[in-house]
Amino acid sequence: MSVAMPNVNETWTGKILEVTLGAGPDKGGTRGKTVTVGGETTLPFLHFEGEIPNKPVVAVEVRDRAPDDWSELLVKAWGDSLKDPAAWAAKAEGLGAEIIALSLDSAHPERGNTGAKEARETVRQVLKATSLPLIIYGPGQPDKDNEVLVAAAEEAAGERVALGNCEEKNYRTVVAAALANNQVVIAKTPIDVNLAKQLNVLIGDMRLDRDRILIDPTTGALGYGLEYTYSVMERVRLAALTGDSALQQPLIVTAGYEAWRAKEARTNDGVPTQWGDWAKRAVLWEANTAVTLLETGADILVLRHPETIPLVKRAIAGLMTRAGA
């Protein structure tokens, strides 16, 4: 006996743009490795329905100053490399990172207030220490972001780095720096489809190529708003696949940053015994945040803990395996 299964495949009219980070010597850069994400013609990992030409990749967060508010689990795992961004980046590459997400945190007025000169020096050193493409984040304070991101974009001219975050309040400066130095921007908006679209349109008006934008929809951690990110990412991806050209860029999420803010990952003080072993819980908190974001369309996942890297890469490998292969 046989029952004909109805055809459940959707016919999508849109396609996610391919965005490349990093440039080798042939393209004016010095990167030994480049990364291309995006290009999907279907929802995440539905191989029966469409093409998924590029796998999602893991970026690892590196800071230009030793973080003073990180969980001791992270501090222990990274050890002395936390004090030197170049060593940290090299170590992350060795542990399986595919992109280095360098945060120029020391430029923050309350965390060192360093300027353009120091930013250039850090970028130069990290570029030398790793063959991977870079994401470069400012300290998240508008004036200082503008100062150090412009300097970093110039220092890394031709390397096709991603500059972040490019937000409504500072997008002009960041986009101009990307335009002048052939870089990519990370367009970040707070968990809202329309705001994401709006910012993309504004960036487009400045004539930055559409394939030089990554969308950061703002990440909620497991237990702390993950479901909002889940639904917003699904809606962004559905809009992109049904033809909304202002939302067709790959998605980048900060799973590490968010998961390690959660009490569950960060600490073991006064927590219920039912929460289980701290080290296991913390790494799984980050990894399971990442899994849900993968399922909803993340193309780049910025992670923090060394042990999370291979776990998330294993999930990606499993999801990229075509059925029956």
Partner 1 sequence: MALSGLAIYKMLPQTNCKECGFPTCLAFSMKLAARQVELSACPHVSEETKTQLDSASAPPIRLISLGKDGHKLEVGNETVIFRHEKTFYHQPGLIYRLADSLDDQEFTHRLDQVADYGVERVGMDLRPDGVAVQDSSGSADTFAARVGQVAGKGLAIILMSSDPATMEAGLKAAQGKEPLIYAADSGNWQPMADLAKKYGAPLAVLGAGGDLEALAALAEQVAGYGVENLVLDPGARGWSDSLGALTRMRRAAIKKNFRPLGYPVITFPGEGSEDPREEAMLASQFIDRYASLIVMDDFEPAALYSLLTLRQNIYTDPQKPIQVTPGLYEIGDPKGDSPLLVTTNFSLTYFSVAGEVEGSGRPAWLLVADSEGMSVLTAWAAGKFDAERIAKAVKAAEVPDKISHKSIVIPGFVASISGDLEEELAGWQILVGPREAIGIPSYLRQLAKG
Residues that bind partner 1 (CB under 8 A): 1-6, 8, 45-48, 190, 222-227, 230-231, 234-235, 238, 261, 263-264, 266-267, 270, 272-278, 280-281, 283-285, 287-288, 291-292, 295-296, 311, 314-315, 318-324
Find the shortest distance in angstroms from Cβ 295 to partner 1: 5
Nearer to partner 1, 31 or 237 (CB): 237
Find the shortest distance in angstroms from Cβ 228 to partner 1: 8
- d(C-alpha 314, C-alpha 317), whole Å: 5
Find the shortest distance in angstroms from Cβ 289 to partner 1: 9
Neighbours of 262 (CB within 10 A): 20
In the structure encoding, which two tokens stand for residue 34, read together?
A: 């480049």
Neighbours of 13 (CB within 10 A): 9
AA letter at 232: V
Nearer to partner 1, 46 or 180 (CB): 46
Longest dimension (CA), the chain: 74
Nearer to partner 1, 36 or 296 (CB): 296
Nearer to partner 1, 212 or 237 (CB): 237
| DSSP 3-state of 253 | strand
Nearer to partner 1, 168 or 209 (CB): 168
- d(C-alpha 69, C-alpha 320), whole Å: 36
Q: Is the CB of residue 242 less than 8 Å from the CB of residue 13?
A: yes
Nearest to 222 by CA among 181, 271, 259: 259
Residue 43 is given by DSSP the state: S
User: E strands within 118-168?
Assistant: 134-137, 162-166
Q: CA 301, 304, 305, 306: dihedral to nearest 10 degrees?
A: 70
Nearer to partner 1, 117 or 275 (CB): 275
Find the shortest distance in angstroms from Cβ 185 to partner 1: 23
Nearer to partner 1, 81 or 267 (CB): 267
Nearer to partner 1, 13 or 323 (CB): 323
Find the shortest distance in angstroms from Cβ 145 to partner 1: 19
Q: Identify the sign of the CA torsion 249, 254, 255, 259.
A: negative
Find the shortest distance in angstroms from Cβ 190 to partner 1: 7
Residue 49 is given by DSSP the state: T
- d(C-alpha 78, C-alpha 98), whole Å: 17
Find the shortest distance in angstroms from Cβ 49 to partner 1: 9
- d(C-alpha 211, C-alpha 223), whole Å: 33
Find the shortest distance in angstroms from Cβ 214 to partner 1: 22
